[in-house]
Chains A and B, each alone.
Chain A
Amino acid sequence: MIAAYLVLLIPFIGIVFFAIAGHKTDMGKFNIWLNAVCLLATVWLAVNVLNIGTILSPNKAFLIDPFNVYLIVLTAFVGFTTSIFSSPYMAHEKELGKLTDNRLKLYYSMYQGFMLAMYLVLTTNNMGIMWVAMEGATLATVLLVSLYRTPESIEAAWKYFILCGVGIAQALFGTILLYYAAVQIGDGENALLWSVLYENAAHLNPEILQIAFVFLLIGYGTKIGLVPLHNWLPDAHSEGPTPMSAVLSGLLLNDALYAVVRNKMLVDGASHNNMAGYLMMGFGLLSFLVGALFLHRQKDIKRLFSYSSIEHMGMMTFAFGIGGPMATFAALLHMTVHSLTKSAIFVTVGHASQVAGSQSMGKIRGLIKTQPKVGWGLLIGTIAIAGFPPFGVFTSEFLVLLATMHGYPWLAPLLLLGIGIAFAGLFRHIQPMVYGDKPEGQLPVKANLWPVIIHLGLVLWLGLAIPSFLAHWFSQATLLISGSTPL
């Protein structure tokens, strides 16, 4: 339990420290250290959970079970590697005169604030606090989206703020309905605790819960970036600093999906008509297809990959919606590999746009010749995210497809079509960017590509063979969510 408190305490120290005394230190380095300590704490926590099972804190405020502990480790890991990337990246942005010291202070402070909100979403046992932390994540990142203070970035931040704020308000309404259903059978103060709700799920009123779930799905779905609530996502990703895009894509979307899945477990416990599942499948498939189609029309590299995120989040939502052990297992695996791959891609994208001095894909040319590491990183990352065989994304997409074939065979062609469209959409843009002659006047930038190598290596490993402890871990989480193990 101490580990869990530590995970929450460290980012908090980070916020306060950067806000007060940030300028006196090398903020980038310190940020890396904070995230590293956090990562160690989460690993410790994960080992505990794997050994002794679900942990409930004495005051019942925090709950760590196999499902969220794996997301906690993933969050800490992506947070750590992104901080390695962000240190030289932000220093370069400062050299270019885009940022001042105060903005950097704000950036690092809010980076930690975002991490704190993410950890709180994952660890809390209280559905109300989960909402509060989710909103907190928006509030922490909104000023980061407008960090450069260009009219475009302010517009993006405003859209992000308003859309997510309004969207997440629906989730609060859903939470209130959930509480309303819960107080009818239990005591007031503890009625919103997930552990209590989950135990009593069968006694909750299914009618109210189903209505509540619609609101929760719309609310948190805005954060996931489900079509048609996705408008903020490409804007926020493209206008904010690139490390922010990496953590938004790799973490925020996952955690919003986590919140939806938690609520789905309650609804499934209360009613047996799989309404929640169908809703998620519908929204998921729509996002998947729309995301894939929109890939073709992009001109900004970060917008391109944010649409790719929408597409993949759609697929995960779809898979969780199918339910059942195999689809759930696939969705968990996809969550992991997508986070790793996507944050690696954003790291290379950040460097690539620094090389070209622009985010416009028309200006990024001949990367392999200019800076081979960045070029190859981008190429391999794209191959991985498009779902090519040796990488983990292939495994998870294949499993989703398999589960679809079992449950809803007539939806499988749609999935295949979507994967094909997305593949074409990605490669028609990527191919001219990485190959070709070196353009005039573009020089390599100082880059730290270790995060990319580690991430892509892990994804490759997951694609070749899932290590047994990880498989065990995933099956525990699957057991928790779907009620049976996949193997």
Chain B
Amino acid sequence: MNIEQTDFYTQAILSMAALVGLTSFLMLGQGRLLRLIFVFALQGLLLTLTTALAAYSLDNPHLYISAALTLVLKVLFVPWMLRREVLLMNMHRDVQALANKTTVMLGGASLMVFSYYVLHPIVQTTSPVMLNALAVSLSVVLLGMLLMISHRQAVAHVVGFMSIENGLFFAAIVATKGMPMVVELGVAFDVLVAAVLFGIFFLHIRTSIDSLDVDLLNRLNEVDK
């Protein structure tokens, strides 16, 4: 099936998938926290647009609620909170040198290939479009994990965590046209609580180790004390 034979909705979804994947890569290679947060908000915006598009073309009003929730949570609230934290800690000036940026980017690329490989059996039963959408969202999830591994700042970890959620959300919207409403509300609630908890944690970590560098959290390991 070639792309020109598919309907406009599918084309739009594919473009969105590509852009969401791109934002994940951008986050992966970003050493400056404020830009990282900005790209994250951008990803949230793309997600909102995708959801609204799905709601419009599938004529599914409850997706509008999801879109609104995404907009408020992922585009406004979480980035605002993180930005505030970064400015408060005066971390926006230091550039965290990603020592092994090339390796990380290559790792990201291979993760993308890996997610296509993992999900390939699905193509036998469904359209390639769904495979693409699912594979992109899985790679967003995996790239989010890689982001958490490769960055040291707690703020970057939160961004990675939330972008994993973004990937899952994208999969839910595109592949299954949104989960049932109760589930979606539940997930949104969890994300909200998680965001608030992260805020509390920043406070605690700051007061206990006076920094948000996660590498300093190294007191607990297998054989100590």
Contact = CB atoms under 8 A, between A and B. Distances in A.
Interface in B161-205: 161, 164-165, 167-168, 171-172, 175-177, 179-183, 186-187, 189-190, 193-194, 197, 200-201, 204-205
Nearest to A120: B186
Contacts of B205: 154, 158
A159 B220 contact: yes
B197 A139 contact: yes
A94 to B, nearest CB: 20
A300 to B, nearest CB: 6
A183 interface: yes
Given A208-B125, A211-B122, A161 B201 contact: yes
A183 B125 CA distance: 13
Nearest to B173: A176
A188 B177 contact: yes
A176 B122 CA distance: 13
B182 A176 contact: no
A189 B220 CA distance: 45
B12 interface: no
A39 B207 CA distance: 40
Contacts of A192: 179-180, 183
Contact of B125 (A139, A207, A360): A207
Interface in A129-187: 129, 131-133, 135-136, 139, 142-143, 146, 149-152, 154-159, 161-162, 165-166, 169-170, 172-173, 176-177, 179-180, 183-184
B225 A169 contact: no
A272 interface: no
B180 A166 contact: no
Interface in A9-55: none
A211 B179 contact: no
B94 interface: no
Interface residues of B, number: 54
B222 to A, nearest CB: 6
Interface string B39-62: 000000000000000000000000
B109 interface: no
A176 B171 contact: yes
A188 B225 CA distance: 54
Given A126-B183, A156-B220, A162-B161, A149 B122 contact: no
Given A161-B197, A208-B122, A180 B183 contact: no
Contact of B119 (A131, A156, A211): A211
A132 B161 contact: no
Nearest to A168: B190
B168 A128 contact: no
Contact of B190 (A132, A176, A177, A179): A132
Nearest to B119: A211
A360 B225 contact: yes
B220 A183 contact: no
A205 B186 CA distance: 27
**Chain A binding surface SS class:** helix
A132 B217 contact: no
Contact of B224 (A139, A165, A166, A299): A299
A173 B201 contact: no
Nearest to B191: A135
B138 interface: yes
B201 A128 contact: no
Contacts of A150: 208
B16 to A, nearest CB: 17
A125 B56 CA distance: 30
Contacts, number: 139
Given A157-B201, A188-B180, A294 B222 contact: yes
Interface string B104-147: 00000000000000110110111000100010011001001100
Contacts of A152: 219-220
B157 interface: yes
A150 B219 CA distance: 11
A235 interface: yes
A179 B220 contact: no
Contact of A146 (B119, B164, B204): B204
A192 B187 CA distance: 14
B188 to A, nearest CB: 10
B209 interface: yes
Contacts of A165: 161, 194
B148 interface: yes
B217 A155 contact: yes
Interface in A87-117: none
Contacts of A129: 182-183, 186
Contacts of A172: 168, 187
A133 B40 CA distance: 26
B223 interface: yes
B197 A142 contact: yes
Contact of A155 (B172, B175, B181, B219): B219
Interface in A232-254: 235, 238-239
A151 B179 contact: no
Contacts of B134: 177, 180
A228 to B, nearest CB: 13
A126 B130 CA distance: 24
B50 to A, nearest CB: 15
A176 B119 contact: no
Contact of B124 (A142, A184, A189, A207): A207
B141 A173 contact: yes
Nearest to B218: A155
Interface of B: 118-119, 121-122, 124-126, 130, 134, 137-138, 141, 144-145, 148, 154, 157, 161, 164-165, 167-168, 171-172, 175-177, 179-183, 186-187, 189-190, 193-194, 197, 200-201, 204-205, 208-209, 214, 217-220, 222-225
Given A166-B161, A166-B164, A190-B180, 17 more contacts: A132-B186, A135-B194, A139-B194, A139-B197, A146-B201, A151-B208, A152-B219, A154-B208, A158-B154, A161-B197, A162-B161, A166-B144, A169-B168, A173-B171, A183-B176, A192-B179, A299-B225
